[in-house]
Structure 1
Amino acid sequence: MTAPRLALLASPAIEAQAALAQLEREFGAHPPAEADVIVALGGDGFMLQTLHRHGALGRPVYGMKLGTVGFLMNQYRPGDDLLARIAAAEPAVLHPLEMRAQTESGASVESLAYNEVSLLRQTRQAAHIRIALNGEVRLDELICDGVMLATPAGSTAYNFSAHGPILPLGANVMALTPIAPFRPRRWRGAVLKAGTEVRFTVRDPLKRPVSATADSHEVRDVTEVLVRESRDRHVTLLFDPEHNLEERILIEQFTV
């Protein structure tokens, strides 16, 4: 059986670059478009960067943690048989969120998010945001620092720090979570079906400007943001069987 061709990518971190040099000596260097598997060396930020840059190629991605945070990564263990680990890895299929943002200037900006789409106030003025689900207004005015819609993979990141729920993979749901809500005081968010179309409308955008961010892509001065889960696009992450992504999400729910 022919060994898979690996595209080796690394963050600028010293440890990641050193590991990259070692692995290139062992496996050679293939561009992502010509590889069978993409190996990402770094933290979660670099993994997201890799997915945004190369996700359309349809190659599975095996990450190894050589950065600050590595929830989406496997442990880096020098000396292990990397090809054997990849062959035994379990796949996790992720569907990104599709964001379409309208700006005050009339521009329409589209982007993808594998973790979350978040709306945040741009000034000291609290944001006033209307929320509609599948065309029906569910919350006429949320007064807050912001609000986000998170995927299950992203539910343990910014969403969790904002007291949103941790979502299991495969549940076909998304987390709608307010960020420092002021009114209504008792609203703590919602868990939505994955097919739900969420429309955020910024009320009084001139006095209370709001930005929208899809993972790390920020759009400022938005007036309306439409978000839905993509069913056509997906990426496949590979995880070691003893610590796959589903298990990590489960562990997070019992971590105190």
Structure 2
Amino acid sequence: MEGGKSTNWMRKTIEKFEKYEFVNPKITVELVQSAGYVSAQNIFESKSQENDLPKWNEFSDILESVRQEIVDDLRGQIAQRIASGVINKTFKAEADRKAANQQVTLVLRYGHLVCAICAALLEFYQKIDELTDEMAKTLASNIVDSVVETIEKEKKIRIEEFVKTVVKKLLERALKKIFKTLTTKMREIAIPLPWGNKLALRIIGVLTCPDPEKHFEVMKYCLKPLVEECLKEPIKDQLPKDWEVFLKSLLKRIEQIEASLSRAQVTAP
């Protein structure tokens, strides 16, 4: 997408957001999916300039085929046979088996199942990142303290505390970068697309969620990171101005909902 004047579709989407502000669930779905799709496309195209990646259309087709594959895995004939086998061993009465099958089908056909998987994986990966960040901070502190202690003994000097603080910050930053690269590569190698790829998970989560207004985890772990990255340079510079304004408004709205939910959790008995 080139910067400058936005399309009529974008303009209409922005107008709907300004008018409804997440009140109408149908409008919410359209807004979230539109924002997620456009943000993801811009992010992907920006990354493709730096890496040897397929075209956006090819990538989105891959994600759609993977999404359909997991739906088939959960709802297809093989899944039904597995479910029936477990149910038949558990229940003897035909009426009980029929009721159990109906409930299994109800759960597996629940509209939020795929997006819930995406959001849960993204939350899990975020916790791993937080743990590695904490580990990097601890390691940096221990390493610098040990090195400084050795230098002070050998050189018979005293290293100022602010020097230790500066070096710790630099080392912590370097270690975080190393750990992030390692965990990302390990995840993407060990786990097949899209389940080990954050961008892919965010796209699928946004585009498959039937009602993001009632599924805030999708807003938090899928949509919000897409919008945030899209609003960073150099991607932001390629956006039409009104689309940039729209994404900023959307991000602000997500943060308001997030803050509201946090307050509700704090005040809950």
Q: Which has the higher helix share?
A: 2
Q: Which has the higher strand share?
A: 1
TM-score by length of structure 2 reads: 0.21
Higher relative contact order (CA 8 A, sep 6+): 2
TM-score by length of structure 1 reads: 0.22
Larger Rg: 2
